[in-house]
C-alpha cells in the first residue's frame, strides 16, 4: 500500500492492483466520517450532473467501502480524527500505468509520460478556464498574477490547434505518430477541450466577485467551477486506432469555497497586466 498521488482534497492509493487505484477524500481534516459522507454525495453528483455534460469522456469510478484497519498510518497523516471504522473510496482505473516511466514534460498544468520504447504516451492536462466569460484570458492572466509565464494556454489551444507546437516545444522525445494523432484529435469538434469549452460557456452565472454568502452559490456556478478544475488524460498507443480520453478530478465543490473564488476574482479584476488573445 502506497500513496501515488496527492491533491489538496484527495490522496490516490495503490493497493497493488495493476489496473486500478483507490482515491480517498481527505478534504475535511477533522473527521474521517465527514470525508466518507462527502464521497457518497460526491459520486452521486458526478454520476448525474457531471456525467450529463461529459458523457463517455468521464472516467469510470465506483464507490468501494474498505475497513479502516491497515489504512490508519496513511490516513492519519491527512485526517486528524479517524472517527469511523471504514473508509469510502473511489475505485478508478490507473490512467498512468507503471510502464509509462519516462517523464517527457512536466509543469503545473501538464505532464507527458512515455514508455521507454515510445510505444505509449500519456498526456495529463489541466485545461482550467477553456471558455472566458470576460474579454481577457483567465488562464494566462491568472498565471501572470501568480508570477508564472507559460508558453502555451489551453484556452488558446482550443481556439487554434496549431498552438500545439508551443505546448510540445519543451517536451523530450515523443513519437511522431502521437503528435500527428493528437493534432488531428484537437482539430475535431468533439475533442475534450471543445466539450469543456461548450459546457463552461453554457453555464451562465453571476460574477464570482459578487458572491456574499453560500446562498449565492448556484448549481450552475458550482458545476462551472468543477469543470474549470478537471484533469484530462489523453492516452496514445502505437497499436491503437484512436486516442483514449478520460476526465477525472470532477468533484463537487463545497459552497464555502466561494470565499476563495471571490478573492481570486477580485484580485484579477484589479490586476493591470491582464492577457488578451
Cα 195–Cα 129–Cα 255 angle in degrees, nearest 5: 100
Q: Which is nearer to Zn ion, 137 or 174 (CB)?
A: 137
CB-nearer residue toward Zn ion: 87 or 137: 137
Question: Whole-number minimum distance, CB 131 to Zn ion, in Å?
Answer: 12
Query: DSSP 3-state assignment of 232?
Result: strand
DSSP E strand stretches across the chain:
2-6, 10-14, 20-25, 62-67, 86-93, 102-106, 110-114, 120-125, 231-237, 244-248
According to DSSP H, which parts of 57-137 are helical?
72-75
Q: Which is nearer to Zn ion, 37 or 229 (CB)?
A: 229
Measure the CA–CA gap between 203 and 201, rounded to whole angstroms. Answer: 6
**Candidate segments 9-17, 97-105, 114-122, 156-164, binder of Zn ion by CB under 5 A:** 156-164
CA 74, CA 109: separation in Å to the nearest integer?
26
Q: Residue count at the site for Zn ion (CB under 5 A)?
A: 6
For residue 155, state whether it binds Zn ion (rule: CB under 5 A): yes
Q: Assess 13 for contact with Zn ion (CB under 5 A).
A: no
110 binds Zn ion (CB under 5 A): no
DSSP 50: I
Q: Kindly tell me which of 10 and 141 has the beta carbon lying closer to Zn ion.
A: 141
Give the gyration radius of the chain's Cα atoms. 19
Q: Which is nearer to Zn ion, 79 or 224 (CB)?
A: 224
Q: In the bound complex, what is the minimum distance in angstroms from residue 269's beta carbon to Zn ion?
A: 17
Q: Compute the distance between CA of residue 176 and CA of residue 182 in angstroms, rounded to an integer.
A: 10
By CB under 5 A, tell whether 193 contacts Zn ion. no
Q: Would you say 116 or 267 has its CB closer to Zn ion?
A: 267
Q: Quick one: which of 54, 137, 221, 224 contacts Zn ion (CB under 5 A)?
A: 137
Coil, strand or helix: which one is 102? strand
> Minimum CB separation from Zn ion for residue 182, in Å?
19
| Interface segment toward Zn ion; rule CB under 5 A; list 49-57, 76-84, 148-156, 158-166 | 148-156
- Applying CB under 5 A, does 143 fall inside the site for Zn ion? no
**Cβ contact 17:6 at 8 Å:** no
* CA–CA dist 37, 25 (Å, integer): 10
Residues of the shown chain interacting with Zn ion in the complex, contacts defined by CB under 5 A: 137, 139-140, 153, 155-156
Amino acid at each position: 500500500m502506497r500513496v501515488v498521488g496527492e491533491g489538496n482534497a484527495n490522496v490516490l492509493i495503490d493497493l497493488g492492483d495493476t489496473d486500478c487505484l483507490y482515491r480517498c477524500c481527505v478534504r475535511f481534516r477533522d473527521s474521517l466520517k465527514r470525508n466518507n459522507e462527502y464521497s457518497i454525495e460526491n459520486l452521486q453528483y458526478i454520476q448525474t450532473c457531471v456525467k450529463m455534460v461529459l458523457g463517455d469522456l468521464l472516467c469510470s469510478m465506483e464507490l468501494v467501502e474498505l475497513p479502516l484497519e491497515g489504512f490508519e498510518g496513511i490516513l492519519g497523516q491527512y485526517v486528524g480524527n479517524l472517527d469511523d471504522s471504514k473508509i469510502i473510496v473511489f475505485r478508478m482505473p490507473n490512467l498512468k500505468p507503471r510502464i509509462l516511466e519516462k517523464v517527457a514534460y512536466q509543469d503545473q498544468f501538464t505532464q507527458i509520460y512515455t514508455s521507454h520504447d515510445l510505444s505509449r504516451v500519456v498526456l495529463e492536462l489541466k485545461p482550467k478556464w477553456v471558455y472566458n466569460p470576460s474579454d481577457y484570458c483567465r488562464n494566462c492572466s491568472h498565471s501572470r498574477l501568480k508570477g508564472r509565464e507559460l508558453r502555451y494556454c489551453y484556452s488558446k489551444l482550443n481556439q487554434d490547434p496549431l498552438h500545439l507546437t508551443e505546448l510540445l516545444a519543451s517536451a523530450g522525445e515523443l513519437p511522431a505518430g502521437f503528435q500527428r494523432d493528437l493534432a488531428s484529435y484537437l482539430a475535431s469538434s468533439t475533442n475534450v477541450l471543445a466539450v469543456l469549452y461548450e459546457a463552461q460557456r453554457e453555464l451562465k452565472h453571476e460574477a464570482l466577485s459578487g458572491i456574499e454568502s453560500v446562498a449565492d452559490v448556484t448549481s450552475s456556478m458550482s458545476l462551472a467551477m468543477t469543470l474549470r478544475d478537471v484533469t484530462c488524460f489523453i492516452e496514445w498507443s502505437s497499436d491503437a486506432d484512436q486516442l483514449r480520453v478520460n476526465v477525472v478530478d470532477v468533484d463537487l465543490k463545497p459552497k464555502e469555497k466561494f470565499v476563495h473564488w471571490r478573492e481570486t476574482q477580485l484580485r484579477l479584476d484589479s490586476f493591470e497586466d491582464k492577457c488578451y488573445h
